[in-house]
Amino acid sequence: MLAQITAAISERREELFALLRQLVSFPTVSPPARNTDEAQTWLAKQLSDLGFDVDRWTLYPGDDNVVGIRTGSDREHYHSLVVNGHIDVAEVGEERGWQYPPFALTEGADGRLYGRGVADMKGAMAASLFVLKLFKEYGVELRGDLLFQSVIGEEAGEAGTLSAIERGHTADFALVMDTSHLRIQGQGGVITGWITIESPTTLHDGMRAKTIHAGGGVFAANAIEKMMKVIAALQELERHWAVTKSYPGFGHGTTTINPAVIEGGRHAAFIADRCALWITVHFYPNESFADVAREIEQHVLAAAAADPWLRHHPPTFRWGGRSMIEERGEIFPSLELAEGHPALQTLQHAVASQTGREPTLSMSPSVNDAGWFAHKGIPAAIFGPGELNQAHSVDESVDPAELIAFAKVLAQFITEWCNTPKGKGEVKR
């Protein structure tokens, strides 16, 4: 039956492309977001028509999560799987800069398919829906549960996937179908944070001489200038990490602390009494965002303790958030691959069988929602079609042959993993 399904994927590829054409037509751009209702309504109907129970709930007005659940015929004894994708796509910018219309699937002269999201990641969503359609047509039995998650907000650091996990939509393994060029990947993590310095007093600009010159007698400071010491401390720690930290699959110095945004002062007639710095921190797969944030706080506070004014008015910290839009903060946890996990071995076997090449385990240079599964104790991997350099690009495109190959791998992986008895193949760490 698997051979029949994989043959049908090749022979009926236009049906896959039709699903992708429909998905691309929904302008689910984030930011501004709050625009996925129509797309999620369409997708929920697709899942319902395929025999899935559908759970839909609102995270923000205009942005719902959709999860389809196909209960296995012997769910107590066979493995379950989540396939996860995000329905939102990156912003487009000025459409006149595009050769091809961003929200109409177009085949280019080079044979590639063009449109916003074809690589990141509506191509994978369409391919997976096509596989599920064929499963129904061919009467494929799955003994374990299969969950299809269409989440919102990934492009804006919004916790759509985390919300699905918190709602109880979990499994023995999760496959996040984000852009990986058909490589099986883990990832480092990213957390943003705000560091704020505030003075208890607000002074006129004319008081500056009394705060900086001998005998002035006013114990005060300019918050912007004091933030320069914090930035210097962050740069020092970043260089220390580059020397002392490493992880296979990443170049040295991948752990970075980027001072991305600075806000401070009232206007030119005042000494700045407040300054806030927004930083973006990249860390390795074997690190947690909580540990990394703690390390930064300790280093910055130690530097502040050496400054006479900051010692009494130390910086404060606010880390992460569930939305870059609503909270100006985000977290993408890291994901280490459990190389001996039976699901990962099953996925490697499916890649080898359907593509004819030896599967490789690697690390994504980017981040996505896969880390939330690992953070919640669910083994996971990133695996999807499309090249990373196409994600977010003008005239985003994907090789249609890669969509076909992905669909075949997914069909084999689902049928094998969801029909594997629990306890078969112990995890080797």
pLDDT along the chain (429 residues), means of 10: 97 98 98 98 98 98 98 98 98 92 97 98 98 98 98 97 98 98 98 97 92 88 97 98 97 95 96 97 98 98 97 98 96 95 97 95 96 98 97 97 98 98 62
* CA gap 128, 131 in Å, rounded: 5
Cis bond upstream, residue 102 (ω within 30): no
Record the tokens describing residue 217, joined without a space: 């007698």
Residue 64 designated active-site: no
User: pLDDT per residue over 71-119, tens digit each?
Assistant: 999 999 999 999 999 999 999 988 889 999 999 999 999 999 999 999 9
Give the pLDDT score at 81. 98
* CA gap 37, 26 in Å, rounded: 10
| Residue 184 CA, distance from chain mean position | 15
**Which residues does 232 contact at the CB level (< 8 Å), separation at least 6?**
303
Is residue 116 within 8 Å of residue 125, measured between CB atoms?
no
Q: How far apart are the first and last CA of the chain?
A: 34
User: pLDDT per residue over 181-232, tens digit each?
Assistant: 999 999 999 999 999 999 999 999 999 999 988 888 899 999 999 999 999 9
CA-angle at 332, arms to 418 and 425, nearest 5°: 30
Active-site position among 64, 145, 154, 402: 154
Give the pLDDT score at 424. 67
- Torsion sign across C-alpha atoms 24, 27, 33, 38: negative
- Supply the mean pLDDT for the chain: 96
Residue 110 designated active-site: no
Give the residues across from 58 on adjacent strands. 64
* CA gap 406, 261 in Å, rounded: 39
Give the pLDDT score at 425. 53
Is residue 300 within 8 Å of residue 195, measured between CB atoms?
yes
**Which residues does 124 contact at the CB level (< 8 Å), separation at least 6?**
85, 177, 178, 179, 384, 385, 386, 403, 406
- Give the largest Cα separation in the chain, rounded: 88
Active-site position among 63, 88, 287, 402: 88
**Which residues does 353 contact at the CB level (< 8 Å), separation at least 6?**
412
* CA gap 57, 55 in Å, rounded: 7
Q: Map out the domains of the chain with their CATH numbers.
A: 2-187+335-417 (3.40.630.10), 189-319 (3.30.70.360)
